[in-house]
Structure 1
Amino acid sequence: MARNMTLLWGSGSPPCWRVMIALEEKKLQGYNSRLLSFDKEEHKSQEVFNINPRGQVPSFKHGDIIVNESYAACFYLESQFKSQGTKLIPDSKEEQALMYQRMFEGLTFYDKLTAVIFYEYFVPEGERLDSALKRHKDALTMELKLWEGYLFNMGSGSNLAGKSFTLADVVVFPTIGTLFRFGLSEKRYPKLGEYYALLRERPSIKASWPPHWLENTKGQDTLKDV
């Protein structure tokens, strides 16, 4: 069933990771998986442009159907394979509403994370301003406190929208995983740390863990003071 699916992806990319988790949860292993190198700019190759005119990953095909945006691909997989694997949209209207809320808040969360990381890694050193970096870090800190509060209110052992693992977890966990990879303090954010520790052992997440993180487990300290 998955043999007519193709995913072009990059290691450590949260949008790619979202789609990979969804594929694992829907029992769609065996798809055509192409790991591309960001360092070699393989995501700008003709192979990618043939699927994704933006020259970005993930680039995803199912037969002749192309769905490149990560949220759209996750929704598509759940819609097309409802009766297979994990049910990722709960029946309860309360849980469903919370799931959608957390999913789309997750886009803001991701943007605030990347604002910090991209500033430090892609803005030339001579063009960086301490005030700009501080502004980005302060915005991320405020966002982290929101999510720490959400998880505190849900109670220990909960997923983002309740007891069930849902699309909210599929799309937001890669952001949280990246936060801790870049040095976020589990002592400062214990509820996020607890959630991270719980989900990182989930089979779909272990199976799709960024390979270069496995090769080098140390990570970075970019976010140690956030």
Structure 2
Amino acid sequence: MAANKDMFLWWGSGSPPCWKPMLVLAEKEMWEGLPNKLISFDKKENKEADILAANPRGQVPTFKDGSLVVNESNAICMYLEEKYSNDSNRLLPVDVEKRSQVYWRMFESGNIQSNITVPIVYLIWNTKPEDRNQAELDEKFTKAKEELGYWERTLTGRSYLVGDRFTMADVFFYPFVAFLVRLGATLREFPALKQYYDLISQRPTVQATWPPHWKEGSTAPILAAL
């Protein structure tokens, strides 16, 4: 679609919230050629004037469509879906009952963030090894496995989270899983989840939006226990 020439997206590499609208744009064949700016979190570029003018919170993703500004990852995804969907690229089912199942998984996917990323990843990133309570960390990993076990049961016998095709549920969920794998999670105890990750990772829209810095090498496998 040529409509993307009037759009602009500020985003950060490897950020699941940023990846979600990028996937929606790619699924609607709007990512290629879309004006955008990859920002550096290390350099605090998300606090620069151009972003703050559009998003006073200084967060990404920040998105513009012409003169319209839409912030917050989920809001951007829903806006794009409502405005730019057609029968070939729809990510939300027309049927209200089927759509309810997609909504359920979409909004449930944040449990990965709250039960794994925040209590474990952020803790490890922000504390020195000698300052961590290993017993508490072990307990957090146990709870993380419980969370992954829930999704393992959900995905057993399925290729996608809802139905037999890629939906907005997968847009919301997959980036969180990919983030865990990036940080060393092998998913060895969760074969259905691993199969899901491998399948979605091969999707052309996922490859087209793959975090650039992930292609440059590995990182510390802090989630190897998963």
Superposed pair shares fold, TM > 0.5 = yes
Alpha-carbon distance in structure 2 between the residues aligned to 1:76 and 1:84:
17
* 1:11-39 alpha-carbon deviations (Å, 9 max, x no partner): 11000000110110111132211001111
- The Cα shift of 1:125 comes to 4.6
Q: Secondary structure at the match of 2:9?
A: strand
Distance verdict in 2 for CA 1:85–1:33, change over 3 Å: farther
Tell me, what secondary structure is at the counterpart of 1:35?
Answer: strand
CA RMSD of aligned residues (A): 1.7
The aligned counterpart of 1:46 is 49
Residue 82 of structure 1: aligned partner: 85
Matched residues in 1 for 2:55 and 2:116: separation?
A: 24
Distance 1:66 1:87 in 2: 22
Partner AA of 2:99 in structure 1: Q
Say if 1:53 and 1:151 are closer, same or farther in 2 by CA, change over 3 A: same
1:64, 1:221 → 2: CA distance? 42
| Length-normalised TM-score, structure 1 | 0.92
CA distance 1:132–1:62, shift in 2 (3 Å) = farther
- TM (norm. structure 2) is 0.92
Cα distance in 2, alignment partners of residues 42 and 203 from structure 1: 29
Matches within 5 A, 1:150-189: 150-152=154-156, 155-156=157-158, 158-189=159-190
- Which of 76, 79, 99 in structure 2 is aligned with 1:96? 99
> Given that residues 96 and 161 in structure 1 are in contact (C-alpha distance below 8 angstroms), is that contact kept between their aligned partners in structure 2?
no
Q: Assess, with a 3 A threshold, how the Cα gap between structure 1 residues 64 and 123 changes in structure 2: closer, same or farther.
A: farther
Give distance in 1, aligned partners of 2:11 and 2:126: 20
Identity %: 39
Cα separation, 1, equivalents of 2:116 and 2:15: 12
Q: How many residues matched?
A: 222
Within 5 A, what are the aligned runs for 1:204-215? 204-215=205-216
Q: Which runs of 5+ in 2 are unaligned?
A: none
1:107 aligns with 2:110: yes
